[in-house]
Structure 1
Amino acid sequence: PPGSSAPAAAGPPGSSASAVAAADADALAREASGGPSTRLLVVQHQLPFNVSRTLDGTWWGSWDDGSLLATSVQGGRHLMGSLDVEVVFIGVPKLPAGTADLDAKEQAALQSLLRENSCIAVFLPNQLTKAHFSYSFTVLWPLLHNQVPDQHAGGQGGDGALVSSWWKGYVTSNEAFASTVKQSLRAGDMVWVHSHPLLLVPSALRQARIPPSCTVSFFLHTPFPSPEVWRVLPHRTQLLQGLLASHVIGFHLFEYARHFMTSCRRLLALGENVGAGPAGGVLSIDLGSRRATITVSHVGIDCEVIRHRLGQPEVTQQREALMNKRPDLRGRTILGGVEMLNQQQGVALKLLAFEQLLARQLAEISRRRPHQSTGSPESAERLHSSPRA
């Protein structure tokens, strides 16, 4: 687990030569002592660690098996642990819904628990979290999925004042993340930032003058829209520049990488490069003094995780409880799905696909039972108490 430094406080990123020197000295000391000198700091909006409080106020927690970056057969982090580096997670703690802003004493106690589990918290006031969530999922989320907005005023007169306040909250939150990352950095660390709530973190880290031996990578877990869609966003150039501060920028598909590179060329007049590397072609954006490398690597499904979870006693017990409650379902196939009620989830398309399946295989109708659970984005916010990672 990471060292027992003081709790990370949210605030604007600063810069000082002494901080860089201290980080270098710390890395040399760790190397001399035989400890790992390189760490992977995984920065995501929410920590993959669930926390709660007992009646006496004591914090306790457990790894979130549903988190993309924490799930594994062993209960968490085995895939990144195989990199033979120390892995530390940085993000907003998953507090129970309705939790008020924590005071300094409560933050220190929670930070202590998280550090014992290789996590570092970014503490944001609830009001700031709400603005950050609103910009990330009301403005960015639809647009990243190629949905052109007809208005972003939130129904308040059409002057855009509400989105302007969301944007300020988004910027402040990203600066708070960068500040926490900088306070935690050691020379030689690798920083891996994740998805659209944190698009400005790479540029905030550069402005904070982190140690030059540190590398910053970013992976976007959503599509990147066509340039014609991206250009309608008022803050399009700031967000592109935020991403370009990374050493490496990752996308799911080449289509998304191509859209990003075209937007950089049209909006920022930056050149593209396609070179040859040991593994094939290498994409990059020419920034003059350096290049930002573009990678394409689709996130897959860890089948071993699913097999392991299906064999857990609680899953078996729930299956038997369902069969006892509905004996008519024994021997039948139950198709289940869980989505939020927004256009990007494609619930209607899934139901139409199931309808086509039944139309083609009428004999199967009596043997299949669909079950679809849905929830509003607001219920997701209550469930997670802050934006998705």
Structure 2
Amino acid sequence: MSGTHDFVVVANRLPVDIQNDVDGERTWTRSPGGLVTALAPIMRAKGGAWVGWSGAADTTIEPFEADDMWLAPVPLSAKEIATYYEGFSNATLWPLYHDVIADPEYHRVWWNAYLEVNRRFAEAAAVNAAEHATVWVHDYQLQLVPQMLRRLRPDVRIGFFNHIPFPPVELFGQLPWRRQVIEGLLGADLVGFQRTGDAANFLRAVRRFTSYGTRGQVITIGKHWTRPERHVRAATFPISIDSAQLDELARTEAVEKRAAEIRSELGDPDVLLLGVDRLDYTKGIRHRIKAFGELVAEKKLTVPAAALVQVASPSREQVDEYKTLRHEVEVMVGNLNGEHGSLGRAAIYYMHHSYPQEEMAALYRAADVMLVTALRDGMNLVAKEYVAARSDLGGVLVLSEFAGAADEMSQALLVNPHDIEGMKSVIMRAATMDPREGRRRMRALRKRVLEHDVAHWANSFLSVLEAVPQRTSHV
């Protein structure tokens, strides 16, 4: 049975946040985020449907229209949130795909929940997709959906994009269900990754754990009974942001005024450093604070002439590793401020909450040095946001070589966050950089980020996917 939508997006979450008001009426607001921004115009143009979870446990919501998109909610029980989402997705796959910075946990009950939920998403996609539709599946929570959907709807084109890294085969091989995951992804016609190395890791995993042959970027799935031979492409499509929108926002008088206020409120430091992250063990927050603390202790940076603002938005607060990380970060901040701060002037200003986009734009404009020191990151869009906000050509970006953005942003100061001495040297270089060199670097970074925005990313992926020849409805 086919639906009526020629373009279907399948993601863990719907593109809206749903609330119930005091009268029991259900309302929605559009979610922030680059994926929604990139795909909303395409959804409207193609009459698209979006399949995803509403964000509420044990809640069944009928499909509805919002923001000119057809939304098809997939229900999740509280138990499934604990096993499929917090369990297999975020305590098994997330650490495994991020170089085992934390130890992955392998539980069969979590895998069974992952199977069941992926099946439900695939069924919802099959119901909503018109004949010969294009279906775009997103991210590590839904890696089995492509194969499940192909069995249900062999006529549709299927794309999959992995927003996080794909691990080396030596690490991926730990996963007890490694072949099932690879087979799940190979249900797609096009599998997209952030970095060339991620695509190469995936192709190596295909060769190691399946019998399929590869040639360049292409995997051949041989003919079997009535199933015709087909080809799967694994390619690189680095994701981006709505850079024009952020550039425009950061140029407004209100944001420029707020940026000046922020610097004034912090005592007009000579050097203002900024970190903006989800509070996640992959982001290198502890390494960053350690390097900054040593620079202050060695009096290479002095307080209050130098200050670090660290925004760490809450993340997965029910998971033990994240509770431990929050405690460790807060102890480090407290110790550093206790030793080097003074009355009314801290060494580190630590904020454990999120800010609206206007305030973030002002922080980006206020900061002299942006510290992006991820231990492993699929892309890291904060690095691109900082660049998009700097139409004044001010500021220096310090960027981890282990973030996907490092492949594109060679004019940043690249750093190995595990090398504390090296990071200290790079931070000092950024803090004392000649303004002419800084402007030259920022100009080159902005050219890249403004030209390769999120719409460019979506269109480049879909142009490759939609070039796949149509198939019959027969398996």
Q: Cα distance, 1:52 vs. partner?
A: 1.1
Aligned residue identity for 1:91:
G
Which residue in the other structure is 2:220 paired with?
286
Structure 2 unaligned spans of 5+: 223-228, 323-352, 355-475
Counterparts of 1:94 and 1:308 in 2: how far apart (Å)?
Answer: 31
Which residue in the other structure is 2:409 paired with?
none
Aligned residue identity for 1:173:
V
- The alignment status of 1:164 with 2:118, answered yes or no, reads no
Counterparts of 2:103 and 2:59 in 1: how far apart (Å)?
Answer: 38
TM-score (norm 1): 0.70
The answer (yes or no) to whether the contact 2:53–2:73 under 8 Å persists in 1 is yes
The answer (yes or no) to whether the contact 2:95–2:103 under 8 Å persists in 1 is no
SS in structure 2 of the partner of residue 124 of structure 1: coil
In structure 1, which of residues 69, 90, 94 is the aligned counterpart of residue 35 of structure 2?
69
Which residue in the other structure is 1:197 paired with?
141
Counterparts of 1:317 and 1:60 in 2: how far apart (Å)?
Answer: 34
Aligned residue identity for 2:205:
S
Which residue in the other structure is 1:39 paired with?
6
In structure 2, which of residues 294, 302, 316 is the aligned counterpart of residue 378 of structure 1?
316
Which residue in the other structure is 2:471 paired with?
none
The answer (yes or no) to whether the contact 1:44–1:91 under 8 Å persists in 2 is yes
* Deviations, residues 137-172 of structure 1 (Å, cap 9, x unaligned): 1000111112187672xxxxxxx6xx1111111111
Q: Cα distance, 1:211 vs. partner?
A: 5.2
SS in structure 1 of the partner of residue 234 of structure 2: strand
* Deviations, residues 258-293 of structure 1 (Å, cap 9, x unaligned): 11111111111221112xxxxxxxx11111111111
Which residue in the other structure is 1:179 paired with?
123
SS in structure 2 of the partner of residue 245 of structure 1: coil
In structure 1, which of residues 118, 134, 144 is the aligned counterpart of residue 70 of structure 2?
118
SS in structure 2 of the partner of residue 176 of structure 1: helix
* Deviations, residues 36-94 of structure 1 (Å, cap 9, x unaligned): xx7321211011211211111111112112x220136xxx734x469x53343221113
* Deviations, residues 75-115 of structure 1 (Å, cap 9, x unaligned): x734x469x533432211134xxxx5225xxx23xx33548
- The alignment status of 1:346 with 2:284, answered yes or no, reads yes
In structure 1, which of residues 206, 230, 234 is the aligned counterpart of residue 150 of structure 2?
206
Which residue in the other structure is 1:13 paired with?
none
Which residue in the other structure is 1:132 paired with?
84
CA RMSD of aligned residues (A): 3.5
Q: CA 1:356–1:220 in structure 2 vs 1: closer, same or farther (change >3 Å)?
A: farther
SS in structure 1 of the partner of residue 54 of structure 2: strand
Counterparts of 2:203 and 2:81 in 1: how far apart (Å)?
Answer: 30
Aligned residue identity for 2:139:
S
Q: CA 1:247–1:184 in structure 2 vs 1: closer, same or farther (change >3 Å)?
A: same
- The alignment status of 1:263 with 2:205, answered yes or no, reads yes
Aligned residue identity for 2:34:
L
The answer (yes or no) to whether the contact 1:92–1:121 under 8 Å persists in 2 is yes
Which residue in the other structure is 2:46 paired with?
85
SS in structure 2 of the partner of residue 272 of structure 1: strand
In structure 1, which of residues 222, 227, 238 is the aligned counterpart of residue 164 of structure 2?
222
**Alignment coverage as a number of residue pairs:** 315
Q: CA 1:232–1:331 in structure 2 vs 1: closer, same or farther (change >3 Å)?
A: closer
Counterparts of 1:126 and 1:221 in 2: how far apart (Å)?
Answer: 25
Counterparts of 2:37 and 2:302 in 1: how far apart (Å)?
Answer: 35
Structure 1 unaligned spans of 5+: 1-18, 27-37, 153-159, 275-282, 385-389
The answer (yes or no) to whether the contact 1:41–1:191 under 8 Å persists in 2 is yes
In structure 2, which of residues 191, 196, 201 is the aligned counterpart of residue 249 of structure 1?
191
The answer (yes or no) to whether the contact 1:71–1:305 under 8 Å persists in 2 is no
* Deviations, residues 328-386 of structure 1 (Å, cap 9, x unaligned): 545766443343444312112333555688799957864442121335643388999xx
Counterparts of 1:88 and 1:60 in 2: how far apart (Å)?
Answer: 19
Aligned residue identity for 2:81:
T
